[in-house]
Chain A
Amino acid sequence: MIGGNDFVFGAVGDSASLEACARIIRRAWPGVRFEDLGTGEKYARLGDVPFGSVRELVAYPNKEAEAYWDADSPDSPENSMLYIIAREKDITVVLDNPHTAEMKLILEGIQGALWAYVESTFARAA
C-alpha cells in the first residue's frame, strides 16, 4: 500500500504539467514505467504516454517495482511508486516517504517545473 503522503502543487493541471512531472521522475528513475490509472495502459517510454487523456498517472522506478504492485504484494518497497493526479488548478503527488533524498529531489524538481509553467501560462496570458 502506498503510504499516502499527499503533496498538492498549485498548477495548470493540464497535459503539459503532467509531462513536466513525468520528466522529473524519469530523471530520478531512468528505468521508469508509467501507467495510466484510468485505462490501465502501461508505457515503458515517456514519449509513448498520451498525456492528453491521462488524469491520473502512476510511475514505477523499474519493472520489478511494477511487478510488485501488479501482484498487490505486501513486500512492495517503500517509495516504489508515485501517484500523480492532475486537476484543473493543481497537481497532487502521492508517495510513501517524502523524507528520503530521492523524493526530496523529485518534489523539488516538480515544484519548480510546475511553477515555471504557471508563470509562462498566466504571465503571458495577462
Chain B
Amino acid sequence: MTSESPAVLEQLLRGNDLGWMIDLYSPSERAISELLEQLTRLTDEFQNKFRYKVSFSPEQLKAEAQRNPHKIRAFLQALAATGKTDMLLMVWRILQGLSIHRIDLNYVEQKSFRLVVVLARPGDEGGELEEYCSDDINDAKLLRHFGITTVDRKPLFDGFFPLKRT
C-alpha cells in the first residue's frame, strides 16, 4: 500500500457505485482503512496459499480495471458482500479463470448454514481441487454473481459477474 492507496480505493468504490460502503460505514472515516487492511490480509493469504504474489492493492485493482472493468466491479461488489478472506479468495480464483466444480449448500432454519464451493483448473482433469467454505449465511449473497447456464441441458455455474453494469 502507498500513500495514494486510500484515495485510489475511494475512487474505485465510488466509480463502481459502491460509495455507500464508505458513506454508510460507522464511523465512515474508518471505512477506507478497514478495507485496506482487508485487502492486505487478502494479499498475504493469497501468497500463503498459492506461493506466488498477487497484490490486491487499490493501485493494482485500478490497473486491472483498465483491462477488465467487469472483474474489478464484481470483486468490489464481493468485497461489499463478505468480510471473509476465504470467500474473497474464491471469488478472485474464479475471476482468474477457474471453473466452479461443485457447490454444497446446507441450511437448516435457525440452526445452521454451510456453503462449500469447490473450484477446478480447466483442462486439468484429475488435478487438485480448491475448496472454500463459509458458515456465514451472508455469504450466500455471493452466489447471485455466479454465471448460470446449461450445456447439453446439464446445469453449469461458470464465472463471477457484477450484478449491475455502470
Contacts and interface: CB of A to CB of B under 8 A. Distances in A.
Given A14-B70, A52-B67, A108-B151, A19 B159 contact: yes
Interface in B148-166: 148-153, 156, 158-159, 161-165
Interface in B22-78: 65-71, 74
B149 A30 contact: no
Contacts of A52: 65-70
A125 B66 CA distance: 24
Contact of B122 (A19, A26, A124): A26
Nearest to A113: B149
B15 interface: no
A50 to B, nearest CB: 4
Interface stretch (A74-82, A92-100, A114-122): A114-122
Interface string A29-66: 01100000000000001110011110000000000000
Contacts, number: 95
A110 B159 CA distance: 12
A24 interface: yes
Interface residues of A, number: 32
Interface string A1-38: 00000000000101110011001101100110000000
Contacts of A109: 149-151, 156
A85 interface: no
A112 B123 contact: no
A43 to B, nearest CB: 11
A20 B159 contact: yes
A20 B148 CA distance: 10
B70 A51 contact: yes
Given A109-B150, A113-B147, A20 B164 contact: no
Contacts of A24: 149, 151, 158
B97 interface: yes
4 closest A-B pairs by beta carbon, nearest first, are: A112-B149, A16-B70, A47-B97, A50-B67
